[in-house]
């Protein structure tokens, strides 16, 4: 990577924007939105939520979207990824659709389009309706079928207004959080149930794509995956084997069936060996094979570094992917001290190259990338957050995205996480990610320095790069 001062220009029509989800931004509103798994989690263990903040109000986008869409323009958005709340459209998860919810989303999407902002609509972002969760969540075929009806309803109701569609955001999240690592409801630790959740999610995505094709829309449909390039500690064969397993479990498990229509053989062989294959039919595999994604969203935040295990696995402990590797903390790494994540910009380049070389260079874009920082009021000057670190973070990553595009990667856009500081699951508002600051008490929005930078970046379709920012 050259460090000379130069202007990095991006391809014509590049998508500049950001992303968030319904549960994290909308608030309840007045459409009769049904309860979700987050309400169930709040009922069960409110202490898990940072400072006791739930999703009742969030960023209040439901009431403020006309003004917020103007803020999107003010911060350079030509595109924006939102999610459509399943529980808002179908308060029971199935059955009668809420016409008030359809009216809300149609007006919001119309206003985005009228302001030159392409709506990217995602159908599931960690927000299972309560009634569906009670039926077993993604473990249940009945819930898969209800999701497909929800997706079909969305294609019919909003297909004329949505630029691109996505079936899921980070489907690995509910698997890890809900069924392995205990950070999302239902807080189960059971690998086999987690595998069934993963398989049924892949199947639900394929079935939604199958239905989408019948609508004859001009848009594309894809999936958004959180992908961390996996690096072995060393070139030692055991370290490399550890990295291969980590990559299979955390990246290829969703990437291969979504793009190629098949699961990695080594992964299925491993699951079979340990008795953890999901329940499925040959017809399920045919649906997955025949309904692959047309576009891929790449969420990148941090690399995954692993090494061979240094201790034997306790056979009396729950089966986990970590039976095959250990995490490795690289000496001298740079990291975000607020979030505890390593900052490794080259990872975004390596990810793009992997998609180019191993996944047919499918249409793709960076669908999330961003830096969460706690107590950003520390950086307030004259009423504005001077988040120079966020500008540096964005520039560093975009320099590598630019290099990847120059080397033939089919990357069509960059969406930051996020637009306005939004609610972030059990972390609530602890770490702020936005281009726009949110005052939780008054709901006042104030554009940060990074928001002004983002507008210039979008207007000029590029930026002047004079070396890497390192003062995180």
Picking from 80, 158, 86, the residue whose alpha carbon sits closest to that of residue 126 is: 86
In-domain check, residue 472:
no
In-domain check, residue 470:
no
- Residue 231 to residues 46, 171, 240, 312, 468, Cα–Cα distance (Å): 37, 22, 8, 22, 22
CATH number for 172: 3.20.20.80
Range of the domain at 139: 6-465
- Active-site option among 26, 130, 368, 376: 368
Picking from 2, 4, 24, 1, the residue whose alpha carbon sits closest to that of residue 466 is: 4
Question: pLDDT tens digits, residue range 73-110?
Answer: 999 999 999 999 999 999 999 999 999 999 999 999 99
In-domain check, residue 294:
yes
Question: pLDDT tens digits, residue range 289-316?
Answer: 999 999 999 999 999 999 999 999 999 9
Secondary-structure breakdown of the chain: helix, strand, coil percentages, each rounded to the nearest 5: 45, 15, 40
User: Is 326 designated active site?
Assistant: no
Q: Per-residue DSSP letters for 280-307?
A: --HHHHHHHHH---SEEEEE-S--EEEE
For position 471, what pLDDT does the model report? 86
In-domain check, residue 359:
yes
In-domain check, residue 471:
no
H/E stretch holding 94: none
For position 117, what pLDDT does the model report? 98
For position 78, what pLDDT does the model report? 98
- Answer for the pair 397, 345: CB distance below 8 angstroms, yes or no: yes
What residues pair up with 414 in beta bridges, in sequence order? Answer: 16, 366
In-domain check, residue 1:
no
In-domain check, residue 377:
yes
H/E stretch holding 439: none
Query: Which residue ranges in the chain fall short of pLDDT 50?
Result: 1-2
- Answer for the pair 307, 325: CB distance below 8 angstroms, yes or no: yes
- pTM here is 0.97
Question: pLDDT tens digits, residue range 231-260?
Answer: 999 999 999 999 999 999 999 999 999 999
For position 463, what pLDDT does the model report? 98
Q: Number of folded domains in the chain?
A: 1
User: Is 170 designated active site?
Assistant: yes
For position 3, what pLDDT does the model report? 55
For position 407, what pLDDT does the model report? 98
In-domain check, residue 138:
yes
- Active-site option among 26, 170, 244, 376: 170
| pLDDT > 90 fraction of the chain, expressed in percent and rounded | 97
């Amino acid at each position: 990577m050259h460090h000379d001062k130069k202007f990095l220009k991006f391809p014509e029509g590049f998508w500049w924007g950001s992303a968030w989800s319904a549960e994290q931004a909308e608030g309840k509103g007045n459409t009769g939105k049904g309860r979700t798994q987050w309400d169930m989690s709040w009922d069960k263990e409110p202490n898990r939520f940072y400072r006791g903040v739930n999703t009742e109000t969030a960023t209040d986008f439901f009431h403020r979207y006309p003004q917020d869409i103007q803020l999107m323009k003010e911060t350079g958005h030509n595109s924006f990824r939102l999610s459509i709340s399943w529980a808002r459209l179908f308060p029971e998860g199935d059955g009668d659709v809420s016409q008030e919810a359809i009216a809300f989303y149609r007006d919001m999407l119309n206003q985005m389009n009228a302001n030159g902002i392409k709506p990217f609509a995602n159908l599931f972002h960690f927000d299972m309706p309560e009634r569906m969760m009670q039926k077993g969540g993604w473990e249940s075929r009945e819930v898969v079928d209800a999701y497909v009806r929800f997706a079909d309803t969305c294609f019919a109701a909003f297909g004329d207004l949505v630029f691109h569609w996505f079936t899921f955001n980070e489907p690995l999240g509910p698997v890890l959080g809900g069924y392995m690592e205990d950070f999302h409801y239902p807080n189960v630790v059971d690998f086999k149930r987690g595998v069934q959740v993963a398989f049924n999610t892949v199947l639900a995505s394929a079935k939604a794509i199958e239905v989408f094709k019948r609508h004859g829309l001009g848009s594309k449909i894809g999936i958004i995956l959180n992908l961390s390039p996996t690096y072995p500690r060393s070139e030692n064969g055991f370290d490399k084997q550890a990295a291969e397993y980590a990559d299979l479990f955390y990246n290829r498990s969703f990437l291969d069936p979504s793009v190629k229509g098949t699961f990695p053989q080594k992964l299925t062989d491993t699951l079979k060996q340990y008795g953890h294959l999901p329940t499925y039919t040959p017809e399920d595999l045919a649906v997955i094979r025949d309904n692959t994604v047309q576009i891929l969203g790449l969420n990148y935040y941090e690399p995954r570094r692993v090494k061979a295990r240094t201790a034997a696995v306790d056979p009396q402990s729950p089966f986990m992917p970590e039976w095959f590797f250990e995490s490795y903390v690289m000496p001298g790494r740079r990291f975000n001290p607020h979030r505890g994540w390593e900052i490794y910009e080259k990872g975004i380049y390596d990810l793009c190259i992997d998609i180019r070389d191993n996944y047919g260079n499918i249409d793709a874009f960076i669908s999330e990338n961003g830096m969460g920082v706690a107590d950003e009021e520390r950086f307030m000057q004259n009423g504005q957050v001077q988040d120079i670190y966020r500008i540096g973070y964005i520039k560093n990553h975009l320099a590598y995205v630019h290099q990847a595009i120059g080397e033939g990667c089919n990357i069509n856009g960059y969406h930051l996480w996020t637009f306005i500081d939004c609610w972030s699951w059990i972390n609530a508002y602890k770490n702020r990610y936005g281009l726009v600051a949110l005052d939780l008490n008054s709901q006042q929005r104030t554009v940060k320095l990074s928001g002004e930078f983002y507008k210039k970046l979008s207007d000029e379709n590029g930026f002047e790069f004079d070396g890497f920012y390192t003062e995180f």
